[in-house]
Amino acid sequence: MDYFDLVLLGAGSASEWIWGHLAGKELAVIESGRVGGECPYVACVPSKALLRSAHTRRLLTRAYELGAVAGPLDVGDAAAAFTVAAARRDRVSENRVDSSAVKELDDSGARLYRGSGSIIGDGIVGVYSDGKLLEELRYGTLVINTGSSPKVPDIRGLASVPFWTSEDALSSSELPRSLAILGGGAIGCELADVYSSFGIPVYLIESFDHILPSEDAEVVSILKNALQGYGVNVIEHAKVESVSWDQAEFSLALENHKTISAERLIVATGRGPNVAGIGLETLGITPEPGGIKVDAFCQVVGAKNVYAAGDVTGLAPFTHGANYQARIIVDHINGKAEPAFYGAIPRVVYTEPAVASVGVYPDNASGRFGEIVSVSMDLSSTARAVTDGDEKGLIKLFVDKRRRVLVGASAIGPNVDELISEASLAIQAGISIDLFAKMVHPFPTYSEGFEPPLRQLTV
């Protein structure tokens, strides 16, 4: 039985970061799927590639308005254009083949075991294939990085129809004649943005009061208006009672007796942690519904020498969140006791316009702070928005009035996915709004939008 200083159960982005930063240790990685996780192949990278194509296509329709051409442009056949966009997506995502990541793993000195991993004893992990035990590995430290899988809601008929998950949608080269998307979270909104840019009818169905239900309602309302302007039929506070398929179209029956029909159906109603079958019970660990419970150093609560990172923890379920947890784990293993702080990890939806947030806002602060003051700035009134011809944009800052520090920010508009890091740094460092207000931004930029609300707070 081989011994390793550290065994990584799963080869997602957190594991990738760890094996690249623990030189000198004997490492093993157990993975039954792609090395590198979902992000490079069927999630973040292909979706952003398609969004780039979609937004460029939409920008072309504005070329005459922006003075770039002498007359309106015809963007051509949508189906043919989508085929080209999908081909580019596949090139960017390395055709969903993990050979480059495997080479990087091999070059790091770690050993890859292809199969499913399960804890079979204290300090022992088994590697399985088709239910058969192939290897037993002893470990000094274990990191669980098994990721998450799509949740399928309990809707009558849904389990028996051939719906798409986001992975299916981001792997297909087909442009359907029409599309229904169940779930108005980040994934659903991004896919609605993509497909609507190619001119097909899109229905975006959300059961909560508004799409992006965990984000600021005023900011989200701007995104909703933008999507509707692109032709997306946004249906909020909607309960789907049943789903059927007649070999040609899906029919979704809503509780208000309305029926939606579409050629394709995408289910994007969230994800759940992959905790089944990995032997947690062997260590006496019972995962919570949201994932494996970890402490401030990403150590699994109730287990010795076991860490968890990424979606399986239910905390900061983004690639950059997983990589942050990986840094915490590596530092802790190396004796640097730096606890995790999740309050400054940004959240981004890469629609057009993009939505970016960090920290809390008054409706989700849950009494963790005193009085929270909210101030805002219309980004469309900045000089940069005027020169670029952008008409949609807002930045909102949320400040703890007593401590005079930023506790949250939410923004929508061009480049907010980049400028939100400024707010993230202010929260991470606990910078006073008086100091923050002294920053000088280049002119003309969207980041100037920070200045008026900050000055308002310091008067």
pLDDT at 338: 87
**12 and 31 assigned to the same domain:** yes
pLDDT at 365: 61
User: In what order do the strands lie in the sheet containing 347-349?
Assistant: 347-349, 354-359, 405-413, 394-400, 372-377
User: Is 50 domain-assigned?
Assistant: no
Residue 132: CB atoms within 10 A of its CB come to: 8
Average pLDDT over residues 435-446: 96
Q: Are 410 and 357 in contact (CB under 8 A)?
A: yes
Query: What phi and psi, each to the nearest 5 degrees, are found at residue 307?
Result: -115, 165
Instruction: Among 254, 269, 284, identify where a domain stops.
Output: 269
Amino acid identity for residue 436 in this structure: F
User: In what order do the strands lie in the sheet containing 202-205?
Assistant: 232-235, 202-205, 179-182, 264-267
Q: Are 179 and 200 in contact (CB under 8 A)?
A: yes
**208 and 237 assigned to the same domain:** yes
Comparing C-alpha atoms, which of 252, 287, 294, 256 is closest to residue 273? Answer: 287
User: Is 430 domain-assigned?
Assistant: yes
pLDDT at 337: 78
Instruction: Among 269, 289, 304, identify where a domain stops.
Output: 269
Q: Is 348 helix (H, G, I), strand (E, B) or coil?
A: strand
DSSP letter assigned to residue 448: G
pLDDT at 256: 84
Comparing C-alpha atoms, which of 373, 350, 349 is closest to residue 360? Answer: 373
User: Is 69 domain-assigned?
Assistant: no
Alpha-carbon torsion (387, 388, 394, 399), positive or negative: negative
**pLDDT tens-digit readout, 268-298:** 999 999 999 999 999 999 999 999 999 999 9
Q: Are 17 and 327 in contact (CB under 8 A)?
A: yes
pLDDT band at residue 199 using 50, 70 and 90 as cut-offs = very high
pLDDT band at residue 215 using 50, 70 and 90 as cut-offs = very high
pLDDT at 370: 77
**203 and 293 assigned to the same domain:** no
**252 and 312 assigned to the same domain:** no
User: Is 300 domain-assigned?
Assistant: yes
Q: Which residues pair with 114 in a beta bridge?
A: 31
Q: Is the pLDDT of residue 361 over 90?
A: no
**380 and 426 assigned to the same domain:** yes
Give the domain extent around 240: 158-269
User: Is 82 domain-assigned?
Assistant: no
Omega before 353 within 30 of 0, i.e. cis: yes
> Which pairing describes strands 202-205 and 179-182: parallel, antiparallel, or unpaired?
parallel
Average pLDDT over residues 343-349: 97
Q: Is the pLDDT of residue 363 over 80?
A: no
Instruction: Among 218, 243, 269, identify where a domain stops.
Output: 269
Alpha-carbon torsion (433, 437, 443, 448), positive or negative: positive
**19 and 139 assigned to the same domain:** yes
pLDDT at 151: 96
**187 and 118 assigned to the same domain:** no
**17 and 131 assigned to the same domain:** yes
Both ends of the chain: CA-CA distance in Å?
68
**286 and 261 assigned to the same domain:** no
Average pLDDT over residues 89-118: 97
Comparing C-alpha atoms, which of 299, 320, 319 is closest to residue 308? Answer: 299
> Which pairing describes strands 271-273 and 148-150: parallel, antiparallel, or unpaired?
antiparallel
Residue 233: CB atoms within 10 A of its CB come to: 15
pLDDT at 366: 58
Tokens coding 58: 């939409």
pLDDT band at residue 164 using 50, 70 and 90 as cut-offs = very high
**184 and 123 assigned to the same domain:** no
Q: Which residues pair with 125 in a beta bridge?
A: 119, 137
**436 and 305 assigned to the same domain:** no
Q: Are 29 and 15 in contact (CB under 8 A)?
A: yes
Q: In angstroms, what CA-CA distances link 293 with 70, 120, 290, 312, 339?
A: 60, 20, 8, 9, 15
Average pLDDT over residues 29-45: 97
Average pLDDT over residues 126-130: 97
Q: Is 15 helix (H, G, I), strand (E, B) or coil?
A: helix
Average pLDDT over residues 109-135: 97
Query: For position 365, which CATH number holds?
Result: 3.30.390.30
Determine what percent of the chain is predicted with pLDDT higher than 90.
94
pLDDT at 362: 76
**pLDDT tens-digit readout, 367-394:** 667 789 999 999 999 999 999 999 899 9
Query: What phi and psi, each to the nearest 5 degrees, are found at residue 50?
Result: -65, -40
User: Is 421 domain-assigned?
Assistant: yes
pLDDT at 211: 98
Average pLDDT taken over every residue of the chain: 96
Instruction: Classify residue 289 as exposed, middle or buried by CB count within 10 Å of its CB (0-12, 13-18, 19+).
Output: exposed
User: Is 182 domain-assigned?
Assistant: yes
**192 and 328 assigned to the same domain:** no
Write down the residue that tokens 């101030």 correspond to: 375
> Which pairing describes strands 306-308 and 132-144: parallel, antiparallel, or unpaired?
parallel
Domain count, the chain: 3
Least confident of 97-101, 184-188, 400-404: 400-404
DSSP secondary structure letters along 364-418: G-TTSSS-EEEEEE-GGGSHHHHHHT----EEEEEEETTTTEEEEEEEEETTHHH
User: Is 211 domain-assigned?
Assistant: yes
Could you give the angle at the alpha carbon of 26 between the alpha carbons of 21 and 109, nearest 5°? 65
Query: For position 138, which CATH number holds?
Result: 3.50.50.60
* Residues 6 or more apart in contact with residue 359 via CB below 8 angstroms: 343, 344, 398, 406, 407, 408, 409, 423, 424, 427
Amino acid identity for residue 295 in this structure: D
Comparing C-alpha atoms, which of 147, 146, 150 is closest to residue 271? Answer: 150
